[in-house]
Structures are given as structure tokens and as C-alpha cells.
Amino acid sequence: MLRRTLPSFARPSLLCRHMSVVAKSLKYTQHGEPQDVLKLVEDKLSDPTDKQVLVQILAAPINPADINTIQGKYPVKPKFPAIAGNEFVGKVVCVGEEVKSLQPGTHVVPLASGLGTWTTHAVYKEEHLLGISNKVGLAEAATITVNPCTAYRMLKDFVKLSPGDTVIQNGANSAVGQAVHQLCRAWGINSVGIVRNRPEIDELKKLLQSLGATAVLTEDEIRTSDIFKSGKIKRPQLALNCVGGKSATEVSRHLNDRGVMVTYGGMSREPVTVATGPLIFKDIAFRGFWMTRWSKENYNAPERKQMFQELCKLMEEGKFVAPTHEMVPLEKFKDAAAAALNFKGFTGKKFILDMSKC
């Protein structure tokens, strides 16, 4: 939640006084593989002035979009030299004289993308930061602005869902998929997850069910399952697709009349193919979603503030946890980047750079 503070003229001791902070940052000057182009460099930061805030970064995740940005494959192109990363949780060190909403010690997360977050310290504009409760765990706070928000918006913005309704999704073990299960549980919605078969499938099913999944089926199982025809679970009105190809086609077949499929990723790198029957006779619809675009278009919207408040409340109450993850020291960024590119584990483990002790 945003924190109300005294006006700056009433708190002169909170202002910066020649902090002489040296930031260690992962910078790159050209596109390429992260382990090849990222360099750990040191820069002395100037004290924040006016509406600027000096932040100590505590943790910052490595997201697929971050890797794609470094590679030059993402729609958003940075200006070089650039600091990598988009998400973080940090702690305010000191503030400029015109800052009104934040004070030293406040935990903050980014409201804007492209700020450069794989660094130990940074100076940001006050308007680009959101103060949150320090009762939210570091891993949860560090990953709040992308995956949980993506899940939240897709569940809220395309179909009006009520308790007892059903959502079906492929890639159900992804970070977004794990967030969807947890939000559905909190809101009383049935969550059916589709995953690829693998040797650890029983363990994976148990994990996702512990997060809130009503049922977890493999891609082969969903083709023959009577889970909807039998009436065990209501037919889904909303489908979420991050895979594409045959997986998306199969999931769309199970949508109810006038159901909606929302595509937010394409891990198979295959196009979304529409089955003719459901398209004509069920009048199903296909939409796309990109969290970065939504955030820019709704930067100061009340819906955005409400979303963060609700997510933080669930996290404080222990009803929403971070995706399966591993904390990695900043100095081991090359190993972490390589692992993020090559990780084949069943939970889609997220790697988070840990700067809390820097």
C-alpha cells in the first residue's frame, strides 16, 4: 500500500546528504546472450534531488522477457549502455526534497518498465515507484509486477467470472500459471491446468493442486477426459494460452458457448490454430494480452492501485506465494542467466538475483 508521509520541509533529516553510494550493476552495450554481453560494473551515484529517490535493490528476478530484451528479441529496445532487468523490490535509502509519498526504509517496487533493476542501488523518479508493506516477502515482492499482475488482469478483464465458474489454462506450471491457480482459489473459481507429461508428473500435479488447482491434466489426458461432459466441473468460460500450436487448439475445444481464449505467450513458437466447429457453433473469441501495454495505458488508473493492494493483502496473509524459485548472489549472474535459459525442471523455476546483503 502507498504510505502517507510528512511533507519534505517537515522532515529535513530524511534528505540525502552526500551519500557517495557506489552501485554494482549488470550493464550491456550490445545485444547478445546474457552471459556474453553482461558486465558487472561499478558507478558512483549522485544524491537524489527534487522528486528522485535513492533505492537499495534487495532482489530482482530473471524473467524470460529480460533475457529476450538482452538478446534483442523483445519489442522494447533499450538505449545503450543499459542496465538489465525490469522487476525488483528495494528499500528507500533517502529522498529528494520534493518527494512526498516515500520515506527511508519503505519497501518499493517499480510502476514503470525498463528502469534497469539488476543493480545494487539506483536513483529513480518518485512517480515510477510504489511503496508496499515490508511484511510482503522478498521473493513475492520482487516478482509482483509481472506474473501475478498478468494473471490478475486476465482473470478480471475478459470474462466476468463468479465463484463456481471455471478457467482452463495450458502451461499451468509456469509462473503465471501458478499465480492463476492461487487467485482462482482465493476467489472461489475452478482452475483446470494442462501440462506436458513428464517423469515427475505426479509430483507436479500435487504441487499445483496445493496452490489451488482444481484439476491438473496432461495434454494427452485432456483429449479423452470427461471432466466437463460429466458435469464434475462446469465448462470453462475463459481459457488462458501461453503455448500455442496444438495445445491451444485442444484447450479451445473445451470452452463453453461464447467463451474467450486469451493468449499471452507462445512457448511452442507455433501459431494459434482455431478449430472451425467451436468457432462457428460456440461463437468463441480469441484475444491477446501484454502486461507491459496494459500497465502503460492504465499507469495511474484506480484499477491498478486496487490490483496491487489486493495482491499484497493476499501475500501478507500467506494466501499467495512466489513461484518456485532460487535466490542467486549478484556475482553469480552468469550462472543464473545460463540456468534461466537452459532450465528444464518441471516447475519452471524462477531465478532471483539476491542483493539484500550487498
Q: Which residues are catalytic?
A: 74
Length of the chain: 358
232, three cell numbers: 464434475
9 DSSP 8-state letter: G
123, three cell numbers: 536513483
With beta carbons less than 8 A apart as the criterion, state whether 179 and 321 touch.
no
Residue keyed to cell 528507500: 92
Under DSSP, is residue 262 helix (H, G, I), strand (E, B) or coil? strand
CA-nearest of 316, 296, 318 to 212 is 318
Q: Element (H or E) spanning 250, and its range?
A: helix 245-252
CA-nearest of 183, 46, 14 to 121 is 46
Q: Element (H or E) spanning 174, and its range?
A: none
- Please state whether 180 falls in left (phi above 0), alpha (psi between -120 and 50) or beta: alpha
341, three cell numbers: 535459459
| Phi, psi of 280, deg, nearest 5 | -80, -55
Q: How far apart are CA 71 and CA 183, in angstroms?
A: 32
With beta carbons less than 8 A apart as the criterion, state whether 255 and 261 touch.
yes
- For the chain, the first-to-last Cα distance in angstroms comes to 26
113 DSSP 8-state letter: S
Question: Which amino acid, 119?
Answer: T
89 DSSP 8-state letter: E
Query: CA-CA distances (angstroms) from residue 202 to 20, 27, 195, 215, 217?
Result: 53, 41, 11, 12, 10
Question: Which amino acid, 141?
Answer: A
